[in-house]
Every structure is written in structure tokens, then in C-alpha cells.
Amino acid sequence: MPVDTTTSPDKVVLSIGTTSAEIYYYGATVTSWKLNGDERLFVSKSAVLDGTKAIRGGIPLVFPQFGKSDHTPKLPQHGFARTTRWRWLGVSADTASEISVRFALGNADVDPALLEAWAEAQPGKVVPAFQATYTVALGPTTLKSHLAIQNTGTAPWDFTALLHTYLAVGAIGDVSVTGLQGVRYVDKVADGAEATETRESITVDGEVDRVYVDVKTSPSTRLAVVEKTPGRPTVSVHRSALPDVVVWNPWTEKARAMGDFDDDEYRTMICVEAGHVATPYTLPAGETWTASQTLAV
């Protein structure tokens, strides 16, 4: 069965050949992407999967706010999209080369208190009217995420958004991220200091939390997670309308401080997150913002 919605009331399972994916309705969070049985997304063994807390791992959707903001202090970190159950819209494509399914989220699906918190940062403190549609497409060697956000109201409003992708790796010491050389970044570990990346291949040997701003793409430069571990092929990250890239690993102290993340799991994961987060995006009334990410092996 290429699209299985019957096994669990909490998620949908996609399969095409020997490749599969799982998406929870809660947060529309992709929690698994397996190729020939090899899991390429990281989900913590301590992740909460009962809909009471954001899922620690997979690809949580960050919207309408990245991180915490002084403008909207009552809005939770990373907004409400990842902590709200999305509506199932069904299968949008089912072919031999790709299966895609869609989910939706709008004002009626969200806790009114969270909408009011979002409104605090908007002109006139008016609650933004929105409709979000999220499409996940699975191919034999690809996983595509497409997010469309429509302003259904009469006034413009601001937001930030990001695909908080957790990638599973064999060993963090054998991992490097390429495609960010020459890019300016904000280093959250260094109290927001700004610098320019000089390395062709970024390795991780301590806590890292950097927002790379306005990352260009070209045929000669690709954003990729490269592993030395045998049998772990490179994952390429292709982006559209997502100019910024966050690289994150909590390392030892932050790992121990998280109740839904095992102490040593920082060794087998890295987050490479495509988003529009360095500056807010202003969406005019009646218009739709679209963005996408493709993970390819």
C-alpha cells in the first residue's frame, strides 16, 4: 500500500519501492525517511509522540516565528505550527516515480490564545488570517517538502518560517557540511556575534548554533551533509525561497538539559535547517508565499 492511513490514527505512512516515509498529523512532522531500510532522519528515543509536545526530531515545521522573539514573548519558541494537529487533505499524486500527500492548517485549527500572541507583533495588533498547505512528496531517492502560506485577510502581516530538519548520521565526528563557505552567519553560541564562514567543509566538535544568512546556490556549490562513515551516502539539500540555513548540534551540556533528548544522542545527529528567518517576510493581503526543500541521496 503506497499510502497507508489505517495503521495508526496519528500518522500516515508512504512507501515507494524500498523507500518509505512517515508523517505525523501533529505538527505535520515527518518523522522517518528510510532508503533500503536505512533511516536518514533523526528522532530522539525520548521524543514525545502523544501530541502534548513538539516532536524532537524529523522535520518539524517552524511557523510563524523562529526561536523566541521580544516582539511576541507570549508566542512559544518556533511558533505553533509544530505543536498543532494539521488537517489531512489526502493524496495529491501517486505514480511509479513519486507519491505526495497534503496537509492544511488555518486560523480555525489554532488555539486562539496563540493567534492573539502572534497578533501582538502585527500592525494594529490584528490577528493575521492565514491558510497553510504542506505537501510531502516521496521519491525513490528524494524527500520533498513544499510549504504554501496564504494571507486570507485584508491586511499584510509578518512571519518567519523554517524546516527544522534533523538528519541521522553515523558519527558526528565523521560529518561535514559543505556549501556554506563565504557566507555570513550569526553565531548564537557566541552571543550573536557575526562572522563569515571560511571553511569549505564545516565539521562539528562542540556546540554549534549558527544562522547562515542569504545562502546562494549555484551548479558548482551545493549544500550537503557528507559522511566518512562507510555506507552512508551524502545527503544534498536543495532549497527554493528559503535563503537562510541553520546548522545546529546541542553537544554535551545542552543535550543533558533537554528532557526529550538522550544525553549521548548529539553524537548521531545534525540539524541542517532551511528557512526564511534572518529577516521576517511580509505577506501582502490575498497573496501566497511558497517555499520548498528537497533532500536527495
CATH code of residue 47: 2.70.98.10
Is 208 part of a structural domain of the chain? Answer: no
Query: Residue 255 and residue 204: Cα distance in Å, rounded?
Result: 15
Is 292 part of a structural domain of the chain? Answer: yes
Active site residues: 164, 273
Structural domain span for residue 272? 3-172+229-296
**Is 65 marked within a binding site?**
no
Is 185 part of a structural domain of the chain? Answer: no
**Which 8-state DSSP code applies to residue 72?**
S
- CA atoms 64, 67, 73, 74: torsion sign: positive
Is 177 part of a structural domain of the chain? Answer: no
Number of domains the chain is built from: 1
Is 221 part of a structural domain of the chain? Answer: no
Is 246 in a helix, a strand, or coil?
strand
Which spans in 52-199 are helix H? 112-119
**Is 150 marked within a binding site?**
no
Is 204 part of a structural domain of the chain? Answer: no
pLDDT in tens, 288-297: 999 999 999 9
pLDDT in tens, 160-169: 999 999 999 9
pTM across the whole model: 0.96
**Is 56 marked within a binding site?**
yes
Read off the pLDDT band of 121 (50, 70, 90). confident
Is 214 part of a structural domain of the chain? Answer: no
Read off the pLDDT band of 109 (50, 70, 90). very high
